[in-house]
Structure 1
Amino acid sequence: MGCGKHAERCLFRQAASWHICPNQKTVVTQVNDSRVKEFRTVQQAVSFLFQRKLHIPAVLLLIGSLSCDQPFDPRAALDRQMVLYAILSNDRAEQYVRVEQNYMPERADPTQDTSNTVLSDVIVTLRESARLYRFRDTVLSRPDTSRYKFPMQMYVLSPFIPEHGKAYNVLAQSRSMGMAYSTVVMPTAPTLHIAYPASVVFQNPISHGPGELIQFSAQLSSLAKGYIARLYIYYDVLKGSEWVEERIELPLGSWKTDPDYYGLDMLYYPQVTASPTTGLFNSTYKNGFLQSIIKQLTTVQYLNNRIVYKWVVFVVFQADPNLFDYYTSIQEYRDPRSIRLDEPTYSRVNGGLGFAGAYTLDSLLFVLPENFPGNRQ
């Protein structure tokens, strides 16, 4: 009995004039002169060899041959699921949702995969209490086309601005993959306060000492799990015949050890942080960095341009638990004494993968006087 195309994988034992041949159905055939015996499982073949007191190497060769007959793939079978991604926010009138399907990378480096995994048979809705809103499909250009050459296919709801403190249910329904949904709750509005003497310093920063403190405080929403606070100075600058609005962020400090150094190099800025238990926090800046920024803009960067400083804005970003947990899950491991970088896959979507989160932006604005130092109208 021949082995056909599997002959190159047959094991031969000349003294006993028999051979064992595995095929793709794991049927093992033993030939001894004119007698033919077939085995349906590897276990039966191995048992037969032991019963006939054949050598152990032959058994090992049999098992090794059978194992080599099956290609090794460390990847598990793909569990096809819908992937939903959405971030609701109150700082824009358009809300976007992406809906795709998961995929199995063909290469070891998944970033080399350029296939389009977008689902085209999806209906996306947003529910708030008894109100139901339907998204429409749209296409956006990619800022970076080094990997994907096709535009981004998304779903948009416009005009729509989610409200503080309200819960929203994001739902995606696909004819081919079923339903996936997630619920997010917008944080309530924080209470913002500017402390004395910051309001006085802003009238004329040059007339105050560089060590003068500029302090803000805020009471965060109990629905926020993370936050970041920033301080900006806004100004208009004349470029050619057009006035252009720009802004620059004030740093918290410098990495230099000299406490009286206010240069604009080696600066550090606020980072996303977990909300304190009480929800209350303070942000402190030094007037010296504000002075340095005004000097840099007025006497160096825009020396020959007309410039008008308009206002200072204290901005507080609040992240709901879904968004904050997602953000922290993609950062490096948070234990500085550990070399572990692994964390479980983050998902807050029922019936699929991905997440839906929310954030709010709230601000406190201080209008600068017309005679603010550096103004050139």
Structure 2
Amino acid sequence: MMRFQNPVSNSFCTLTIFSIVVISAFSFISCDDSIDPKTTYKERYILNFIIRGDTTLQIATLTSSYNVEGVDPSINEIDPAIKDADIKIWYNGEVYTLRDTTIARSDTSRYNNPVHCYYINNFPPAEGKSVIVKAELNNGKKLTAETKLPSNIGIDSCDRIIPLSYKNQFSIVWRKLEEEVYYFVRFRIYYKHNSEFHIVEVPLDYNTINGKVTPVYPGVTRKTIFNYELSALDSVMKNISLGDGQKSSYQIMRGEYEVIIMDKPLSDYYSSIHGYMDDFSIRIDQTDYTNVTGGYGIFASYRKQLLAATLKEEYIRSFGYKAGN
């Protein structure tokens, strides 16, 4: 087993891209909610593997269920990670083997040992391709799953020069993919202050409820049409240098649309826990979503698509900032 710190640790942290929303949610409980938790214990195995389309470094985890005294699973202090498994993926006529490693654990409130995971580097996922994963444990147990890497979206319209004199909004619109999938969307501004680079996200708009102003962001959605209010962009631009009289020390570099396209299994998983929820709903029938044969967990993928946007120089200068190159 190989143990190292980078680049896996850095990539592992970026998996929370969906904080969103996506990766941190893939911890599967050790028993089915519909079953009495203190019936005869049966060990189960959980494979979680999300292929990221924005990197060639991919990370998987393999764990087992566990039994505890009583009914509180949080008292368990024995790491359920499974080591020394054989995990392979079949892709585009090639077979790739994942290697096991450990990375530093940021939260040691429950487990003190490093996080055990499996990784593969230099794996180039391409849009629209099918991928199969097979994991074989030392006891002979096998887990398998398959997914199809999502394709890039086809843009119908996108405001790449902002703002436009005849519009109080800027927008991005694309065609829906054949499968019903979810997207994560955001528009961000890249700027520099005192030689340091910064990024700030722009909301679609602001709502005022009971006197409190709240930003509205796209979040995870099936929508494919997004209209950003120019007034929301104005607010973000002003707040970049809030309280600082040296406006000219800020340099606005660019704007950028980011769209993350989830594949069908990832969308199905998200829908299983959020699909028909609203602020007033309580779900009592939620089940563990899995697309892994022979066990539990999820094997899925997502793709990131970026579109650069230019903020007009006269607009930037209206806030006292400099326009970057």
Normalising by structure 1, we get a TM-score of 0.68
- Do the aligned residues in 1 keep the contact of 2:50 with 2:300 (CA within 8 Å)? yes
Instruction: Find the partner of 2:216 among 268, 282, 289.
Output: 268
- Do the aligned residues in 2 keep the contact of 1:319 with 1:360 (CA within 8 Å)? yes
Pairing 1:286–2:229 present: yes
Instruction: Find the partner of 1:230 among 169, 175, 186.
Output: 186
Q: Which string of whole-angstrom CA distances, capped at 9 and with x for unpartnered residues, describes residues 192-250 of structure 1?
A: 25446x62517xxxxx69x8111111124324511122111111222xxxx32221111
Structure 1 residues 348 and 85, CA gap change in structure 2 (3 angstroms): same
Residue 300 of structure 1, CA deviation? 2.7
Pairing 1:352–2:295 present: yes
Residue 98 of structure 1, CA deviation? 0.4
Count of matched residue positions in the alignment of Structure 1 and Structure 2: 285
Unaligned stretches of 5+ residues in structure 2: 1-35
**Following the alignment from structure 1 to structure 2, what is the Cα–Cα distance between the partners of residues 129 and 362?**
22
Residue 331 of structure 1, CA deviation? 4.0
296-305 vs 311-320, which moves further: 296-305
**Following the alignment from structure 2 to structure 1, what is the Cα–Cα distance between the partners of residues 295 and 265?**
15
Structure 1 residues 143 and 304, CA gap change in structure 2 (3 angstroms): farther
1:204-219 → structure 2 map (5 Å cutoff): 212-219=168-175
Pairing 1:250–2:196 present: no
Pairing 1:363–2:306 present: yes
- Do the aligned residues in 1 keep the contact of 2:38 with 2:71 (CA within 8 Å)? no
Residue 130 of structure 1, CA deviation? 1.7
**Following the alignment from structure 2 to structure 1, what is the Cα–Cα distance between the partners of residues 207 and 41?**
48
- Do the aligned residues in 1 keep the contact of 2:203 with 2:232 (CA within 8 Å)? yes
When the two chains are superposed, the root-mean-square deviation of aligned CA atoms in Å is 2.8
In structure 2, the residue matched to 1:182 is 145
- Do the aligned residues in 1 keep the contact of 2:48 with 2:299 (CA within 8 Å)? yes
In structure 2, the residue matched to 1:109 is 72
129-138 vs 216-225, which moves further: 216-225
**Following the alignment from structure 1 to structure 2, what is the Cα–Cα distance between the partners of residues 247 and 336?**
30
- Do the aligned residues in 1 keep the contact of 2:161 with 2:312 (CA within 8 Å)? no
Structure 1 residues 355 and 302, CA gap change in structure 2 (3 angstroms): farther
Residue 121 of structure 1, CA deviation? 2.8
Equivalent residue of 2:309, what SS?
A: strand
Instruction: Find the partner of 1:145 among 81, 89, 108.
Output: 108
Structure 1 residues 301 and 345, CA gap change in structure 2 (3 angstroms): farther
- Do the aligned residues in 2 keep the contact of 1:85 with 1:355 (CA within 8 Å)? yes
**Following the alignment from structure 1 to structure 2, what is the Cα–Cα distance between the partners of residues 234 and 92?**
21
Equivalent residue of 2:196, what SS?
A: strand
- Do the aligned residues in 2 keep the contact of 1:167 with 1:185 (CA within 8 Å)? yes
Equivalent residue of 2:236, what SS?
A: helix
- Do the aligned residues in 2 keep the contact of 1:232 with 1:249 (CA within 8 Å)? yes
- The residue type equivalent to 1:375 in the other structure is Y
Greater RCO (CA < 8 Å, at least 6 residues apart):
2
In structure 2, the residue matched to 1:199 is 161
Q: Which string of whole-angstrom CA distances, capped at 9 and with x for unpartnered residues, describes residues 260-315 of structure 1?
A: x9x9x41121121236xxxxx21101111111111111343684782211111111
- Do the aligned residues in 2 keep the contact of 1:189 with 1:220 (CA within 8 Å)? no
Structure 1 residue ranges, 4+ long, deviating more than 6 angstroms after superposition: none
Structure 1 residues 328 and 224, CA gap change in structure 2 (3 angstroms): closer
Unaligned stretches of 5+ residues in structure 1: 1-72, 203-207, 276-280
- The residue type equivalent to 1:237 in the other structure is H
Pairing 1:119–2:65 present: no
Residue 92 of structure 1, CA deviation? 2.0
**Following the alignment from structure 2 to structure 1, what is the Cα–Cα distance between the partners of residues 179 and 285?**
28
In structure 1, the residue matched to 2:52 is 89
**Following the alignment from structure 2 to structure 1, what is the Cα–Cα distance between the partners of residues 263 and 305?**
14
